[in-house]
Chain A
Amino acid sequence: MLKYALKRLATSLLTIFLVVTLTFFLMQMVPGGPFLGENVNPKITERLLQQYGYDQPVIIQYWRYIKAMFHGDLGTSLVVKSGYSVMDVIWGAFPTSGKLGFIALGVALILGIPLGVFAAMKHGTVFDRVFIFLSSLFVSIPSFIMTILLMLVFASWLKWLPVAYLENWKSYILPISGMAVYPMFHLGRLTRTTMLDVVSQDYIVTARAKGLATPSIMFKHALRNAIIPVVTSLGPTIAGIMTGSFVVEKVFAIDGMGKYFVNSISSRDYPLIMGTTIFYGILLILCNYVVDLLYGVIDPRIKM
């Protein structure tokens, strides 16, 4: 186990290094400096470039960036929150985004997996068919469209829930639903498929023959094996929820990471784009690492 954990940690660190390097050199390829503008005195531009170290050779800039990164410094935002350090922007915004994403993931898991199990238990019935239909439908709606549709129906037309901002518990419902619907049905479908595979195996027949109650068989015996592929798909699911949050925060005007990320792209705030990408990248890779360890814990047959 320890050997496996260390080996996976090494690959995770390698991936993080790769993402940081890729991001840095890709952003270097963008033509035009950050201080280009009309009627700017070339001397001022030169001074600014010098101040931020942009006059140095790329490789030295890279070295400095990496070194600063280890000290928790990702540079300074140029446009979106001009003058603020990227790290301050991230720490200011991440708690909100993290909370939303965490709740959305929780909702998706708590509702999605049981739905999948019930659909598999009631295989071929109306419930199963309706579930299949709904899940096909909902995994075809991109989360940004889902968010907007929810906002239109429940906030704009029915006026049941607030249109924007996070103020009270009611205002959390729409953003979280927008992020959770897609992963919920995706995980539900996956659970249903793997459950159907598992319940045809001999040990389930044995459990039935012993006279165990169906819910006990399903949740205690079958789900243990059926959950493994679901756990492996958690990494992409977390990435999907994160991508969803970019749009959800934009639509509901929530001061989170996603909003800054999208705004930094549209205003070409390069240090902020780079900083948020690296932050998200490291976060996702670490999440994948934890998921992989979890996978090893749940399924002891995995070669460690």
Chain B
Amino acid sequence: MQYNPDLLKQYGVSEQELELASASEKEGIDQMRPSVTYWKDAFARFRRNKLAIVMFFLLLAIVLLAIFGPIVSPYTYKQQSKDLRQGPSLKHLLGTDNLGRDMFTRLMYGTRISLLVGVVTMVLVCLIGITYGGIAAYVGGLADNLMMRFVDLMMTIPSMLIIIILSVVLRDPMESLFNNPRFSGLATIGSGLISIFLVLALFNWLGMARAVRASLLMNRSQEYVLASEAMGAKSKWVLTKHLLPNSIGVIIISATGVVPGAIMTESFLSFIGLGVSAPMPSLGSMANTALNGIVSYPQYMLYPALLISMIILCFNILGDALRDALDPKMRK
């Protein structure tokens, strides 16, 4: 039996005074209240939020339309017909644009891009942020201090400017990289989009890393972790059974917070002519194209503009509702 010498010293107990837990005492650990109650509690609170439920179903409808719509649609995003600038009809639900492309189909593709940007950025942010924050919390000491100073420094950089510069810089090398047949698979996603993922992830993981580190350290110093260790729990057990489950709430809150910001930044970049490259439509680049004829054809501006705002609104309201439901401080 190996005891943690630091803990023994800290509490002034010698190894001889300790005795092994009996089988019946060990059962007590396994019968601890299952953590499901937290989620049930959170879910109940979430369900009481009527607006969030409405937004959830609205978002679900938008997501389903973005995933399956383009498959069902008889048109593609670049297919042109001779009917330019048609009004809405049965043939083209929202009419056609200045090049005779079906508006509804293009909007669905654009929504796909927006959602993809949100989700991929969120996943990348989780990967980088949790790893970084986890390592910082685990190693502690000088390394932790240095790692966190680096995060502080990154936070002081005006991110939007560097994001813009990076989008300018990455554009051409990415394009030539994807013209290489070895990476042809990636080319279907598009070079502009991939650089957007990278650039957005690069500046959004900071908050997540901070939150994860803070949450891990906070839980690490709680008595129940000490109790678990005193009963002989290994660090792996403590990490997977205590620290991570108790940080999930924080992770979810930070992760959902990233999504609307990422979607907003992508639409902004596409609007100023960076980001997703034509003819692939993004809601931002569709708005940019519509700017030229805005007085005569405001509908080309209104459709993508309202759609972006609606998607961001859904994510904002859902994010707020999730925070209210998951934040233990909000519990009454």
| Count of chain A residues near B, Cβ 8 A | 46
Minimum CB–CB distance from A149 to chain B (whole Å) comes to: 7
Q: Give complex CA distance A149, B316 in Å.
A: 20
Interface size on B, residues (CB 8 A): 38
B266-296 contacts to A, CB under 8 A, are 267-268, 271-274, 287, 291, 294-295
Q: Which residues of A contact B302 (CB under 8 A)?
A: 152
Instruction: Check B165 against A27 for contact (C-beta < 8 Å).
Output: yes
Residues 223-256 (chain B) with a chain A CB within 8 angstroms: none
**Which residue, B153, B176, B268, has most C-beta atoms of chain A within 10 A?**
B268
| Complex-state Cα separation, A242 to B164, whole angstroms | 13
Among the 9-residue stretches B74-82, B134-142, B214-222, B307-315, the one with 4 or more Cβ atoms under 8 Å from chain A is: B307-315
**A304 at the binding interface (Cβ < 8 Å):** no
Decide: A19 and B168 in contact? CB cutoff 8 A: no
Q: Could you count the A-B residue pairs with CB atoms below 8 Å apart for me: how many are there?
A: 113
Contact (Cβ within 8 A) A29 B173: yes
Judging by beta carbons under 8 Å apart, are A19 and B157 in contact? yes
A19 and B260 in contact, given A27-B165, A136-B313, A148-B294 (Cβ under 8 angstroms)? no
Rounded to whole angstroms, the CA-CA distance of A251 and B260 in the bound complex is 24
A6 at interface by CB-CB < 8 Å: no
The contact of A26 among B165, B264, B309, by CB within 8 Å, is B165
Known: A136-B316, A140-B260, A152-B298. A18 touches B161 (CB 8 A): no
Interface residues of A in 213-259 (CB under 8 A from B): 239, 242-243, 246-247, 250-251
Q: Is B169 an interface residue (CB 8 A)?
A: yes
Partner of A239 from B158, B172, B274 at Cβ < 8 Å:
B158
| Separation of A144 and B308 alpha carbons in the complex (Å) | 11
Contact B156 A15 (CB under 8 A): yes
Among residues of B, the one whose C-beta sits closest to the C-beta of A151 is B294
Q: Is the CB of A15 within 8 A of B162?
A: no
A-B contact pairs, 15 of them (CB 8 A): A12-B156, A14-B153, A26-B169, A31-B176, A137-B313, A139-B316, A142-B268, A144-B267, A148-B294, A148-B305, A265-B273, A265-B274, A277-B161, A277-B165, A288-B156
Cβ-closest 8 pairs across A and B: A140-B313, A140-B312, A284-B158, A145-B305, A266-B273, A141-B309, A15-B156, A26-B169
Q: Is B325 an interface residue (CB 8 A)?
A: no
Q: When the two chains form the complex, which single residue of A32, A156, A251, A262 contacts B172, counting CB atoms closer than 8 Å?
A: A32
Q: Which one of B158, B168, B313 has the greatest number of beta carbons of chain A within 10 Å? A: B158
Main secondary structure of the interface of A (DSSP, over half): helix
Asked if B166 lies at the interface with its beta carbon under 8 angstroms from chain A, I say: yes
| A200 CB → nearest B CB, Å | 13
Question: With A145-B287, A152-B298, A152-B301 in contact, is A140–B164 under 8 Å at CB?
Answer: no
**B158 interface neighbour in A19, A30, A139, A268, Cβ under 8 Å:** A19
Known contacts A247-B272, A284-B158, A142 near B312 by CB under 8 Å: yes
- Asked whether any CB of chain A lies closer than 8 Å to the CB of B59, the reply is no
Q: Which residues of A contact B162 (CB under 8 A)?
A: 19, 22-23, 26
> Are the CB atoms of B295 and A156 closer together than 8 Å?
yes
User: Distance (Å) between the CB of A30 and the closest chain B CB?
Assistant: 5
A22 to B172, CA, bound (A): 18
